[in-house]
C-alpha cells in the first residue's frame, strides 16, 4: 500500500519556523516531523511514499537528496567531477523507503493535491495523511477496519488535547487538576485516512478542499467510515505544540515512536 502525504501548505500559523522551510521539515529531535510520520508508517510495514509538494518543495527534495548523497562515507573523484557513496550508513539511508516527490502547485488546495497524485497512486487502496501530525494509531488495524466495511474512505477519528488545563471542581474546591488532558467528549478528523481510488471522482480540481465537498459528498453517499482512535494524536500548528512534541521526544517517551 502506498502512503500519500500532503506537504505543500504554507504553514502560516507556524510562521516563525516556516519562513525558511515548509512545515513538514520543522524538526523534532533533530529530524523533520515528516521523517517521524514516515518512520511510523514504516514501523507497520509500509515503505512506499508519494509526497505532495508545494510551498518550498525544493527544500524537501534537497533534504532527501542530500541524505542519500552525504550520509555515510563518500568518494570524490575530482578528475571526473563525480561524488559516489562508499557505504549505506546513516539512519535515513538504512530505512527501506521509496519516495516519489511530486510538485502539486504552490496554491493548490488539499483536494487538488490529492487529485494530482492520482497517476502515482494508480488504482490501488492507499493511505493518506498530512505532513504535520503524529499519532500512535496502528496503521494495519486501521487498514483491516477499512477492508472490513467495503466503503471508499476511512478517516481516523481522534479526541484532541484540551488547550488549557482541566479543573474538576466540587463545591468550589478543586479536587483534581489535569494539565491539557485529552478531551473525553467529541471526535475530530485526525487524518490518517485509508482510501480507494473511487474518491478521486469526488474531487473537481486544484481549488477543491478535501475537507469540504469531497468528504461531505462521501459522507452523504454513505461512503465515509470512522476508525475511532482512543490513543495518542497531536498536530503541530503552533510553536507551543512544536515544543510539546520536542519535550516528549527528548524525554524518551514520545507516544508516536512505535518503531
Predicted structure pTM score:
0.88
Phi then psi for 247, rounded to 5 degrees?
-65, -40
- pLDDT per residue over 186-240, tens digit each? 789 999 999 999 999 999 999 999 999 999 999 999 999 999 999 999 999 999 8
Least confident of 131-135, 165-169, 235-239: 165-169
Residue 49 contacts residue 129 (beta carbons within 8 Å): no
Cell readout for 161 is 488535547
3-state DSSP call for residue 2?
strand
Tell me, what's the pLDDT at 225? 97
Tell me, what's the pLDDT at 53? 98
Name all domains of the chain by residue range, CATH numbers in brackets: 2-251 (3.90.550.10)
Question: Can you tell me the distance from the alpha carbon of 39 to that of 209, in angstroms, rounded to the nearest whole number?
Answer: 27
- pLDDT per residue over 72-111, tens digit each? 777 888 999 887 777 655 565 556 789 999 999 999 999 9
Q: How confident is the model at residue 173 (pLDDT cuts 50, 70, 90)?
A: low
Contacts of 232 (CB under 8 A, 6+ apart): 134, 135, 136, 255, 256
Contacts of 171 (CB under 8 A, 6+ apart): none
Smallest Cα–Cα separation from 56: which of 29, 20, 88, 2?
20
Amino acid at each position: 500500500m502506498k502512503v500519500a502525504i500532503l506537504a505543500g501548505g504554507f504553514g502560516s500559523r507556524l510562521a516563525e519556523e516556516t519562513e525558511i522551510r515548509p512545515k513538514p521539515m520543522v524538526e523534532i529531535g533533530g529530524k523533520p516531523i515528516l521523517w517521524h510520520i514516515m518512520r511510523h508508517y514504516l514501523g507497520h510495514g509500509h515503505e512506499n511514499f508519494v509526497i505532495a509538494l508545494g510551498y518550498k518543495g525544493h527544500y524537501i527534495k534537497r533534504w532527501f537528496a542530500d541524505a542519500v548523497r552525504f550520509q555515510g562515507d563518500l568518494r570524490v573523484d575530482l578528475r571526473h567531477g563525480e561524488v559516489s557513496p562508499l557505504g549505506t550508513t546513516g539512519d535515513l539511508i538504512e530505512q527501506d523507503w521509496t519516495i516519489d516527490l511530486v510538485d502539486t502547485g504552490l496554491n493548490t488546495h488539499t483536494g487538488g493535491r490529492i487529485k494530482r497524485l492520482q497517476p502515482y497512486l494508480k488504482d490501488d487502496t492507499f493511505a493518506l495523511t498530512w505532513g504535520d501530525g503524529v499519532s500512535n494509531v496502528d496503521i494495519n488495524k486501521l487498514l483491516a477496519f477499512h477492508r472490513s466495511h467495503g466503503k471508499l474512505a476511512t478517516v481516523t477519528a481522534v479526541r484532541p488535547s484540551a488547550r488549557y488545563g482541566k479543573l474538576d471542581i466540587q463545591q468550589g474546591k478543586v479536587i483534581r487538576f489535569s494539565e491539557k488532558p485529552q478531551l473525553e467528549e467529541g471526535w475530530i478528523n485526525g487524518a490518517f485516512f485509508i482510501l480507494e481510488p473511487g474518491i478521486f471522482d469526488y474531487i473537481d480540481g486544484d481549488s477543491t478542499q478535501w475537507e469540504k465537498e469531497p468528504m461531505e459528498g462521501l459522507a452523504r453517499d454513505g461512503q465515509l467510515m470512522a476508525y475511532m482512535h482512543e490513543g495518542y494524536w497531536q498536530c503541530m500548528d503552533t510553536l507551543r505544540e512544536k515544543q510539546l512534541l520536542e519535550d516528549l521526544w527528548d524525554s524518551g517517551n514520545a507516544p508516536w515512536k512505535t518503531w
